[in-house]
Structure 1
Amino acid sequence: MGADDTIQNTQSLSDSAISAAKACIWEWKPDDEVLRIRAVGNSVIPEIEGDWSLGSFAEVLSDDCGSAIGGVLSSATRRDRFSLNLSLRTGEDVRLIGSQMDDGHARGLIFADEASTDIPDTSELEAVFQPIMRLRDGTIAGFEALARWRCEDGELRRAGDMALGSDPLADSGLALKMLDQASDALANWRETFSQLNLFVQVNLTGADLFRADVMSKVESLVQSGRFPKNALRIELTEQMALTDFDAAVAAAAALQASGAALVLDDFGSGHSSLAWLAAIPAVGIKFDPDLTKLAGRPRTDTILSGISRIARSLGMSITAEGIEDFRHVQFLRGIGCDYVQGFAYARPMNFETAQRFLSSQVRLSELTR
């Protein structure tokens, strides 16, 4: 998340938002042969909530679905991904999405329906893009998409400054619009500036991930073929894990199953960072800006160096966010930081300005060949 941005504060993961979600989390433990399903918040599908053997769970599904899920889960291997439409014998349709994790367990979400609740008018929502630069040579690597509202006075204001309504899940309208605008920009830039191999990162809140419409949107965009799957990256803040760690991990597993690449945002801001790092198969981390700003102090430098070593040993990229000057660039380069983001390099810009910025990057690369 951009250093100047908070799309939603920690309250976005409030009990009301989670309780309103129409989703269950599931976990399959092959060693115990137990399928555990529980609601996120209020009970959603009481017919399937509980602990099941595959045989007993198949009995609550239609005949075809019962045999299908048994075959898929019992034969799952590491990093397998699942997306199944299931019909209950009661006549209700649900969707199971998730993936096999490094610990051998499969996890994910079950959505009760695909229907959206009322969402606010997002016609005045605009994405702006803050460049993420390679530290080794100062070239553009990608962008983070940030939400702005176009107000009546023509000014752009942060989405976090605007009231989005009383519905605790209404903010999915913001997430859907941001995903659309970010992916449209990404597809355009991958075609126009193909030599730059850009990625775009989008923030999703914890409540977003328990929305069937948001998860379906991510999946459809990633599978659209307009850009490589790992070029659209979803930033997950650690605050997700503070309300319900197991639910957050299940949501991340479902998101991974969609094909999107995951980045752990504001890393180091909470008490569960290492557990979050161990549980989520992310492609990268972003240092919490408050931690980055303390670089140069011996204790902070030791912490940043240690986190970097762990991340690199896991094959993850490292982004230092909130860089407002160049005092600590040499240190960040020395600990293996891959990317930097902040006002010292570039401020958030609209699509047209980003186009010009990319054109200048292409010209610069041609001059330095």
Structure 2
Amino acid sequence: MAKRATVYDVAQRAGVSIATVSMTFRRPYKVKEETRSIVLAAAEALNYVPSASARGLAHGHTGALGLYAFDYFYPESFAEPAAVEPVGQGPAQGEVAVVRDDRDEDHRLFPLYTDEVQRGVELECWRRGYALMIGGGSRADSATVVTDIVGRVDGLVVFPTSVPDDVLGRIAQRIPVVALSEEPRHEGLSTVSVDNRGGMRVLTEHLVAEHGLRDLQYVGAVNLVDFQERFAGFREALRAAGLRVPRKPLVGLEAEGDDLRHVVAGLLAGDRLPEGFVCVTDLDAINLMEALAEHGVRVPEQVVVTGFDGVMAGRVVRPALTTVRQPMQAMGSAAVSVLAERVANPTGPPIARRLSVQVVLRESCGCSRP
């Protein structure tokens, strides 16, 4: 086997410094295009591949960050490809099969909260020259999976409640950790969150002031810090307007499918349909609009529905969903930026960043599409 080319060999062949070679592979956008082309051509000629382990030994870091997530909204039925029905005879070898997929929940296949945040993490890691390790799963196996990742990275981003509290505390003592949308439960834990309370308050104020709604119901869970803040913002707006303030949501956990159909049927049977539903997430709102449509209730003509998140599915459903858009991609980018600061200054204080949100008015509340 031929001797493996080194960074010194590439630098000599390209006529540049080893620092320029390193920068070409770690942060290519910082190297002039002409120089970058010369370095890449030299590396290709020498069959050179940069060694992450060598960089780690040289700098005391792995050059990698970790992201631990989970299937935040996807039900288990979407973990595997859909069961599909062949159309016509089976294909011969080399031919293309034609199948029919009759699932009626295609909106779940659009990028959701975790997907958008993950994209922000990926792009910022690329921009900063970090490799990225991604792991996830159920809480039952999270301790094993996340511990394996921790041993290979310089810092870790975690989604809310994806890692048990005691495990997260131990990890935060070893490497910098950024928790998304969570309160700092452990010393040294940094956070990136958004203005959930303010966003939901402004949205609710819009429904009251601009649409004259007086009877509003809240739909969704309050088991996460984000969700608790959203419910608090909703209640604050109603209280300030002198309206009835619900003590708890109309529907709590797992507000989807048959649960919502049953709730809507009960409201209609008792002639208790409110003027509007304020939902904790876009997915809750989309599920609710489907349940309302099945019972012949028109949105927004008979009842208003709003969400929170700003996922892509809310733009394509009909009516298009009024929502509070949180900057999901920017959250991922900010999490990596915070980790980079903490890696560079591991003895410094934890960092907390809160990003702003936008109320997006569309048809589901009676407003025109922007």
Same fold (TM > 0.5): no
Kindly indicate which of the two structures has a greater share of residues assigned to helix. 2
Higher-Rg member (1/2): 2
Kindly indicate which of the two structures has a greater share of residues assigned to strand. 1
TM-score of the superposition, structure 2-length normalised? Answer: 0.24
